[in-house]
Amino acid sequence: MLHDSEQNPSIRNGLGFRDDLAAGDAAGLSERLSLGHMAAGLASVMLAGTATDAWSQTADTLPTIEVQDATGGGDNTTQADTGVARLGRVQDIPQTVNVINERTLREQGVTTLDQALRNVPGVTVAIGEGGGGLNGDQFRIRGFQAKGDIYTDGLRDFGAYTRDSFAYEQIQVLKGPTSESFGIGTTGGAINNVMKSARLGNFMDIQGTLGMGPTYRGVVDINRQLDETTAVRIVGMGHKQELVDRDHVYSDRWGVLGSVGFGLGTSENLTINYFHQSGKRLPDMGQPIITPAGRIGRPISEFGVPRSNYYGYSSDVDDYSVNALTLRYKNEVTDWLTVTNDLRVSHYTRTFLQTVTGCPNPVCVNGVASGNFNVPYSIGGPQGYDQTSQGVQNITTAVAKLQTGSLRHELVVGLDVFMQQNERQGYSSSLANGAKAVGTIANPLFEPNFIKFPNPADQRDASNKNVALFASDRVWLTDQFSILGGVRVDRYSAKYNTPTSSASAGDTMVSPKASVIWEPTPNQTYYATWARSYSNVAGEFVANSLNVISNATLEPERNDLWEIGGKVNLFGDRLGLTAALFRVNKGNSIQTDPTTGDIVQTNEEQLVQGIELGVTGKITEDWTVQAAYAYMDSEIKSATAANQATIGNRVSYVPEHAASLWTTYNVAPMLQMPGKLLVGGGFTYTDSYFVNSANTAVIPSAFVWNGLVSYEYENYRLAVNFYNLTDELYYDTAFGNRAVVAAGRTVMVTAGYRW
């Protein structure tokens, strides 16, 4: 498939640098570098680069080229390319797609995936679940579990770890069932991260961040063009952080991305990426949620308990390592046929030891509710585990643009093969939970009086395989009207073993999709879509190797999407507007018991419906905005006889209202000063939401303000970011009986230099 950036003979690199050279001058190269991209070490680049944001630099060895962002789209993210052959451009996807582009990542000083996703209304984060918790990145989209729905360059990233954003160019969230494109799962949608890769052109970016906590961070990003079509790139990151107003909590990590590209700018190319990230952090399993008699449950900080209190032990740890090798091959065989092959081999190791805290009735609950915090809490839950996982995935895709009589087609066919294996060694402790020393709610004990050790009887291993065929055809009945039909067939099998038992599961699932699309002008797209996806309950949780499967014959969850919407571009495609009405039905629902971690099939039918609105791009040349709003009406429509009381309740983890805004303005022209002086900020708002189907416990609403002041001149950038400006008490993540308190007011200073 020839995307917009490939149809243009000029090519821009991932950092938005633009290289201009007078005709015939092969000895000199003038690179016009966008000042707006000086912080690309945080997450380099999706901007197309604007002449008003440029400075120049000279190199003497390369031929004349113009280097362009590989995914295009600039500040208006509806024009961005997803970078995934089977998806294409955001504008052409008949479904809601939220994009966090390079500019937003850089300006907000984003360092992790979960920070970036705060820009996406409808995404909430769970602490961790299943046998004590996969406590890495655990997202829910429109309330639906998405822990198996994280992708990198369209390939599964199944590991449970805290994803640093240093290697990201762009983050995309496709809303609603998307199995036709991504495979089993994707009830709420899919999260796809676009990785940095080698580009034509030369650049080097160094930046450092110092902030409260304290926080120390450094990122180096170097790209070198070796000849007319070959380049190498290396990105390195080091991060050390403690959280403001949170006792003991820390997160240290380092990572490197190496990339080499062959045939860049030609019809046949190959990019090889190697990614490594290691980290060690103190896992925060949250403060207890208490439910006084006759009241709705809330986190104990809502009753006046200091938000700084941490209820785990010094022996708790999340020590992980990730290695992934990705090969992406593309061949524009003819002017109508493009073939791609994407391969990833990944390996994950993890030691995760955690403490799950509760506030038992009646002494603790009654004490906290009445203002007496000198009451003991309780310790429960699993002890932790060592886990090793490896996976291989290969996707071959062919995109053909054909003409049959008067009908124009865009046909996509492909084969997806995925294999994964996990081994897990569980831990026990030298003392039973009741004998472990604990402090009080007011003064928690941090040093344990016990040790944890591997338990030979708690061993689990699991493996799964999936083979899928997918095909879709978009047919233009006229220049303005087209229909899109697609289907994916997955054959899934999984095995699970413990020292005393074994289980296996398998299924064949068919995921269809159908859309009607109207494009009255090139800058307008209106659509109506229906799609269905399945989640293989037994297979999905076997694959994570963290849950005891008591019933390997659990029926797959079935998910249906109905959506109508539009995407309109204004001001010469500089500003994009999106709107959609959606309805998602989920059947055969499962939940995870917050105390035991066991999977429980509730057979609930859950409904989430509402509206999503978005604005992205430039209002004027100096004023940039990214805003989104979601209204979500949710209801449990049916349940088993034992759960009839939940019918009519709201679906857990679904806020009724959610919104985000980020906007910046370059005031330098107004002040008649050189360079670029950005003043900006915004907010994220999440309405209150329940954490269980019984609707007995709630996470309060949160309105969090952030700000930015940055100055860029020639090769330099200095930025000051302000987080949680009003020092609001709110919660980053939650689970059925716990909530993690977010950091207090925080200030970060970043300095960067690029040449």
User: How do residues 697-709 score in pLDDT, each as one tens digit?
Assistant: 999 999 999 999 9
Q: What is the gyration radius of the CA atoms in the chain, in angstroms?
A: 25
Do residues 134 and 147 make contact, with C-beta atoms less than 8 angstroms apart? yes
What letter would DSSP give residue 52? G
CA–CA gap between residue 557 and residue 534 (Å, rounded): 5
CA–CA gap between residue 483 and residue 475 (Å, rounded): 5
CA–CA gap between residue 74 and residue 197 (Å, rounded): 18
Do residues 82 and 72 make contact, with C-beta atoms less than 8 angstroms apart? no
Q: Which residues contact 7 (CB under 8 A, 6 or more apart)?
A: none
Q: Please give the share of the chain, as a percent, with pLDDT higher than 70.
A: 84
Confidence at residue 128, expressed as pLDDT on a 0 to 100 scale: 55
Q: Which tokens go with 410?
A: 């865009």
pLDDT class of 178 with cuts at 50, 70, 90: confident
> Got the DSSP string for 224-292?
EE-SSS-EEEEEEEEEEEE-TT-SS-EEEEEEEEEEEEESTTSSEEEEEEEEEEEEEE-----EEEE--
Do residues 418 and 391 make contact, with C-beta atoms less than 8 angstroms apart? yes
CA–CA gap between residue 416 and residue 342 (Å, rounded): 10
Q: Which tokens go with 577?
A: 């507007």
Confidence at residue 139, expressed as pLDDT on a 0 to 100 scale: 85
CA–CA gap between residue 3 and residue 302 (Å, rounded): 51
Q: Which tokens go with 634?
A: 């949710």
User: How much is the average pLDDT of 326-344?
Assistant: 97
pLDDT > 90? residue 430 = yes
Which residue is listed with tokens 């945080």? 42
Which residue is listed with tokens 């046998």? 131
CA–CA gap between residue 568 and residue 524 (Å, rounded): 5
Confidence at residue 680, expressed as pLDDT on a 0 to 100 scale: 96
User: How much is the average pLDDT of 233-257?
Assistant: 97
Residue 7: in which H helix or E strand, if any?
helix 4-7
Please provide residue 515's backbone torsions phi and psi, each rounded to the nearest 5 degrees. -140, 150
CA–CA gap between residue 327 and residue 270 (Å, rounded): 7
User: How much is the average pLDDT of 32-59?
Assistant: 32
Confidence at residue 13, expressed as pLDDT on a 0 to 100 scale: 36
pLDDT tens, 522-541? 999 999 999 998 876 544 44
Q: Which tokens go with 281?
A: 């952090």
For residue 700, say if its preceding peptide bond is cis, omega within 30 degrees of 0.
no
What letter would DSSP give residue 641? G
User: How much is the average pLDDT of 110-124?
Assistant: 92
CA–CA gap between residue 150 and residue 154 (Å, rounded): 9
Which residue is listed with tokens 């740890």? 317
Do residues 144 and 151 make contact, with C-beta atoms less than 8 angstroms apart? no
Please provide residue 119's backbone torsions phi and psi, each rounded to the nearest 5 degrees. -80, -10
SS3 content of the chain, % helix, strand, coil (to 5): 10, 55, 40
Please provide residue 397's backbone torsions phi and psi, each rounded to the nearest 5 degrees. -130, 140
Q: Which tokens go with 501?
A: 């038992």
pLDDT tens, 557-597? 788 999 999 999 999 999 999 999 999 998 876 665 554 45
| CA 247 remoteness from chain centre | 27
Do residues 231 and 198 make contact, with C-beta atoms less than 8 angstroms apart? yes
CA–CA gap between residue 347 and residue 656 (Å, rounded): 39
Q: Which tokens go with 112?
A: 């992790």
Please provide residue 54's backbone torsions phi and psi, each rounded to the nearest 5 degrees. -115, 155
pLDDT > 60? residue 114 = yes
Confidence at residue 634, expressed as pLDDT on a 0 to 100 scale: 95
pLDDT > 50? residue 354 = yes
User: How much is the average pLDDT of 252-261?
Assistant: 98
Confidence at residue 135, expressed as pLDDT on a 0 to 100 scale: 42
Q: Which tokens go with 325?
A: 């090798």
Q: Which tokens go with 668?
A: 């330098």
pLDDT tens, 609-622? 999 999 999 999 99
User: What burial class does residue 252 get, using C-beta atoms within 10 Å of its C-beta: 0-12 exposed, 13-18 middle, 19+ buried?
Assistant: middle
CA–CA gap between residue 282 and residue 291 (Å, rounded): 27
What letter would DSSP give residue 555? P
Q: Which residues contact 253 (CB under 8 A, 6 or more apart)?
A: 162, 164, 237, 238, 239, 277, 278, 279, 280, 281
For residue 214, say if its preceding peptide bond is cis, omega within 30 degrees of 0.
yes
Q: How open is the CA angle 567-568-574, to the nearest 5 degrees?
A: 120
Which residue is listed with tokens 């047919």? 475
Do residues 606 and 626 make contact, with C-beta atoms less than 8 angstroms apart? no
pLDDT tens, 360-381? 989 999 999 999 999 999 998 7
Confidence at residue 602, expressed as pLDDT on a 0 to 100 scale: 61
| CA 440 remoteness from chain centre | 36
Confidence at residue 537, expressed as pLDDT on a 0 to 100 scale: 52
pTM: 0.85
Q: How far is CA 360 from CA 293, 379, 557, in A?
A: 13, 10, 34
Which class is domain 78-154+171-754? mainly beta
pLDDT > 80? residue 599 = no
CA–CA gap between residue 574 and residue 399 (Å, rounded): 28
CB atoms within 10 A of CB 499: 10
Which residue is listed with tokens 């955001």? 90
Q: How far is CA 668 from CA 301, 468, 622, 711, in A?
A: 43, 54, 9, 9
CA–CA gap between residue 461 and residue 546 (Å, rounded): 9
pLDDT class of 502 with cuts at 50, 70, 90: confident
Q: Which of 740, 709, 738 is nearest to 722 (CA)?
A: 709
Comparing 725 with 602, which gets the higher pLDDT?
A: 725
SS3 105: helix
SS3 647: coil
SS3 132: coil
> Got the DSSP string for 305-371?
--TT---S-TT-EEEEEEEEEEEEEEEE-SSSEEEEEEEEEEEEEEEEE--EEE--TTHHHHHHHTT
Q: Which of 3, 276, 240, 121 is nearest to 685 (CA)?
A: 121
User: How much is the average pLDDT of 677-691?
Assistant: 96
| CA 357 remoteness from chain centre | 28
User: How much is the average pLDDT of 205-216?
Assistant: 97
Confidence at residue 151, expressed as pLDDT on a 0 to 100 scale: 93
Do residues 429 and 450 make contact, with C-beta atoms less than 8 angstroms apart? yes
CA–CA gap between residue 628 and residue 120 (Å, rounded): 7
User: How much is the average pLDDT of 254-264?
Assistant: 98
Q: How far is CA 683 from CA 171, 660, 680, 703, 726, in A?
A: 19, 6, 11, 7, 11
SS3 527: strand
Confidence at residue 134, expressed as pLDDT on a 0 to 100 scale: 38
pLDDT class of 319 with cuts at 50, 70, 90: very high
pLDDT tens, 277-318? 999 999 998 999 999 999 999 999 999 999 999 999 999 999
User: What burial class does residue 537 get, using C-beta atoms within 10 Å of its C-beta: 0-12 exposed, 13-18 middle, 19+ buried?
Assistant: buried
Do residues 576 and 92 make contact, with C-beta atoms less than 8 angstroms apart? no
